Structure 1
């Protein structure tokens, strides 16, 4: 756990606040890396403008959300501003522990500034806004350009469809290079990006499970083909082996969100600068891969100051662009997309104008409404059923049918 404090000169703060206890203007921001890199850049100006001091507490992604689940359930221990990953926004909103920002701060007046699909994800069943999108995760494929060139693989041809992606993998395998860290990432890409209109990720508009549908069968089938042909490294994301794979060129592609660029460049594999490029996802699919929201827990006693920080980080065009430049957190604020920054080459990606790729993907993502049971369904599908198919050779339709029964039982849906 890492706690970071940024404090203004006490005398200056007290003078500006004129008699109000300075402690009343201190708030805490709870998040996960690489938000700390971004906050270092943007907070000094915010503090100067507002006289609101911001402490921040960073935990790794999983621990952060586990802690927040407990904080919201018990009504204590959460920061004043919390970061919520897109995968958790549905259940966190449904928990009842977050402030309705539409009701309290008329947040809907800012709706036109944001990507429509992300705005929809931050809403509750009552139509109120509970999480303001702070960054998006346009889905892309990162690939090792040096490896592709060495073995005569054309990136555009490789992403034409899943068969051509697999064919590229077979060429790489002959040279002892894996196509991707884990075949599971391919299944996740298909599940996340081919949602029919009116459906959620795992449930239809009436809350009925859709996990035995063709979308899931296809996702599992393509992933199994990659595993059966020995084209993936069976490497879990966010493991030491994963980091080493990026550094050593163990695998040649990774499907992820725009935000991975910040991690690769800032700490995972800075020494591979210039070797990577990005492309669209294979098979002509567009989709979101991650994304974050800022919310205020009801338990916060500094809600007005918390809202001031959320507004600053999301509605302020320049601040969104600063975060984008620092940690590749793709702006949720669509007024940024005509900025010259998008035309600049990205040094880590060999000078490629990658932000234009991210922007094109972001503009083509369709809204997918989150559901209360998403996190339950996700763990059953991606962590249990998919692994049984990939690791144990379980029949795909059997695994999905069993997963659906479990989802119904765990979410009491019918």
Structure 2
């Protein structure tokens, strides 16, 4: 009996110990969370903050740690982290202007391969956004988050004060002619204080990035040949040079304090940009100008991708599986894309989101104009283009050539011929 009681006691003790172990294990499991870091730039930090509560409902075991830096600081820090192989967040936002550089440099996970198999989502996105995230050799370096269909913003009050009608501008030559009339001296000191546009270079950027033939890139054709001497570039540089020589631009660089002031004070009549600029103008650049702005398609039915954000996973991430859950959540869910849109006016890259009734509503900041539907239609007409390894080099050289044309009066064709030679030399090397 003593042995039986001891046996039962040991069995009860064993059961008690097992129960304690199970409780501790369950408790540890309940409290264990994976923390993933997310690196973004404004205004995507607002999107992540808005999305976190919904993400936590779907994935209560994943905690998000947000790291937000200024636009340039974020991308420069990421360049360094990818180059050194350490220090990058688990999920990173990349703006389209940097995507080609990161794709060439390496360090981003190829999302086309298992276990990600990102290609399954291809048809969900606006075609050109998907093309921008895909390299010529088939790698998917990021997933599209938002897009920037190009548009022409104009100040209604400035145009009306000049006695002009923006609807008469249907070609680039007509825009130059319009600029000659709207650029004027309004304070009587003999110097223009109202201009057509902040920078002539913006016109060139729009023109050579617009209506790119299907399957080509901005600077290279489908066979990898440089196309910077093509009529697309020649006309873009020529029109920009005409604007500069006629004194129609204020010579103000983008993202400068002078640029913001020009929008606030109405010293530029138009600005070419992505649809996202409306949100920036409304939220922080020039909120007091509500109702004074309008938007139109670019001249000559030119449809262009102007900005856009993507989410990528660095190879160095130790939490790729959970990082992929967040990337999918941010990019492939219609409700989340619309939440991001309502938060920052960032135009969704997901095609299904563009059918939402929100896009048919008037935009108060734009004087009640139903501009979102116009932008959605423009987005559907932008041709898909692919990333070429030489894009970052070509962009640098073309920008320098344009500066020579505008600042030094260099001949357009000569500048582009020299740019082509330099691109080919550096890309081969």
Are 1:29 and 2:38 counterparts?
yes
What secondary structure does 2:330 align onto?
A: helix
Structure 2 CA distance for partners of 1:282 and 1:262, relative to 1, 3 Å: same
Which whole-Å CA distance do the structure 2 matches of 1:193 and 1:291 have between them? 15
TM-superposed CA distance for 1:129, in Å, is: 1.9
Please, which of 403, 415, 428 is the counterpart of residue 399 of structure 1?
415
Unaligned 5+ segments in structure 1 are 1-14
| Residues 191, 219 of structure 1: 8 Å contact kept | yes
What secondary structure does 1:57 align onto?
A: strand
- Structure 1 segment 362-377 matched on structure 2, within 5 A: 362-377=379-394
Partner of 2:258: 241
Which whole-Å CA distance do the structure 1 matches of 2:175 and 2:26 have between them? 60
Structure 2 CA distance for partners of 1:22 and 1:278, relative to 1, 3 Å: farther
Structure 2 CA distance for partners of 1:406 and 1:271, relative to 1, 3 Å: same
- CA displacement, residues 106-144 of structure 1 (integer Å, 9 cap, x when unaligned): 212222211111112211333232211101110001110
What secondary structure does 1:45 align onto?
A: helix
TM-superposed CA distance for 1:230, in Å, is: 0.5
- CA displacement, residues 312-331 of structure 1 (integer Å, 9 cap, x when unaligned): 11111111111112212111
- Structure 1 segment 177-256 matched on structure 2, within 5 A: 177-256=194-273
- Structure 1 segment 117-128 matched on structure 2, within 5 A: 117-128=128-139
What secondary structure does 1:128 align onto?
A: coil
- CA displacement, residues 183-235 of structure 1 (integer Å, 9 cap, x when unaligned): 00000001100323342111122222111221111110000000011100100
Which whole-Å CA distance do the structure 2 matches of 1:317 and 1:336 have between them? 5
Aligned CA RMSD, in angstroms, stands at 1.9
Structure 2 CA distance for partners of 1:22 and 1:107, relative to 1, 3 Å: farther
What secondary structure does 2:28 align onto?
A: coil
Question: In terms of mean alpha carbon deviation, does 106-115 or 292-301 score higher?
Answer: 106-115
What secondary structure does 1:297 align onto?
A: coil
- Structure 1 segment 1-400 matched on structure 2, within 5 A: 19-20=28-29, 25-51=34-60, 52-103=62-113, 104-158=115-169, 160-175=170-185, 176-382=193-399, 384-400=400-416
What secondary structure does 1:178 align onto?
A: coil
What secondary structure does 1:108 align onto?
A: helix
Structure 2 CA distance for partners of 1:406 and 1:63, relative to 1, 3 Å: farther
Which whole-Å CA distance do the structure 2 matches of 1:16 and 1:273 have between them? 58
What secondary structure does 2:141 align onto?
A: coil
Structure 2 CA distance for partners of 1:299 and 1:20, relative to 1, 3 Å: farther
- CA displacement, residues 262-307 of structure 1 (integer Å, 9 cap, x when unaligned): 2111111111111111110122211110111111001011111111
- CA displacement, residues 135-180 of structure 1 (integer Å, 9 cap, x when unaligned): 111000111012122222222212x001111121111113441111
Larger radius of gyration: 2
What secondary structure does 2:154 align onto?
A: strand
Structure 2 CA distance for partners of 1:17 and 1:370, relative to 1, 3 Å: farther
| Residues 87, 374 of structure 1: 8 Å contact kept | no
What secondary structure does 1:184 align onto?
A: helix
Which whole-Å CA distance do the structure 2 matches of 1:90 and 1:23 have between them? 38
Structure 2 CA distance for partners of 1:73 and 1:157, relative to 1, 3 Å: same
Question: In terms of mean alpha carbon deviation, does 28-37 or 216-225 score higher?
Answer: 28-37
| Residues 82, 294 of structure 1: 8 Å contact kept | yes
Partner of 1:3: none
